[in-house]
C-alpha cells in the first residue's frame, strides 16, 4: 500500500507507456508493382533478398518476401531432385 501512495505522490516515478509505431498500409498499387517486379527473371530474386532483409522495407512486405524466398528454395530443391530422378531414369533406359 505504501508503494501506491508513493507513486501517487511522485508522478515522476510513474511508469510511462509508449504507443507502438503503426506502419502505413501498403496500397494496391504498391502490391501490384511488387508482384510485377517479381515476374522479371533474375531481378525477382535480387529484389526479394532486398525486401526480405532491408531495413527500410515495411514489415508486411518483408515477411512476404521471406515467405516467397522459402518457396523459391523449396522449388529449387524439388527441381534438383526431379531432374536427378529423370536423368537417372533415362540413363538406365538407354544405358
Cβ contact 14:7 at 8 Å: yes
Task: Determine the pLDDT at residue 10.
Answer: 59
Q: Enter the DSSP assignment of 32.
A: H
Cell of 55: 531495413
CB atoms within 10 A of CB 65: 21
Residue 95's pLDDT is 75
**Residue 12's pLDDT band (boundaries 50, 70, 90)?**
low
Amino acid at each position: 500500500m505504501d508503494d501506491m501512495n508513493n507513486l501517487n505522490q511522485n508522478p515522476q516515478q510513474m511508469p510511462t507507456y509508449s504507443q507502438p509505431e503503426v506502419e502505413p498500409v501498403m496500397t494496391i498499387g504498391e502490391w501490384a508493382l511488387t508482384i510485377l517486379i517479381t515476374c522479371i527473371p533474375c531481378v525477382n530474386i535480387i529484389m526479394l533478398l532486398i525486401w526480405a532483409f532491408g531495413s527500410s522495407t515495411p514489415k508486411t512486405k518483408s515477411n512476404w518476401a521471406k515467405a516467397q524466398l522459402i518457396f523459391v528454395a523449396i522449388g529449387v530443391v524439388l527441381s534438383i531432385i526431379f531432374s536427378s530422378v529423370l536423368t537417372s531414369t533415362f540413363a538406365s533406359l538407354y544405358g
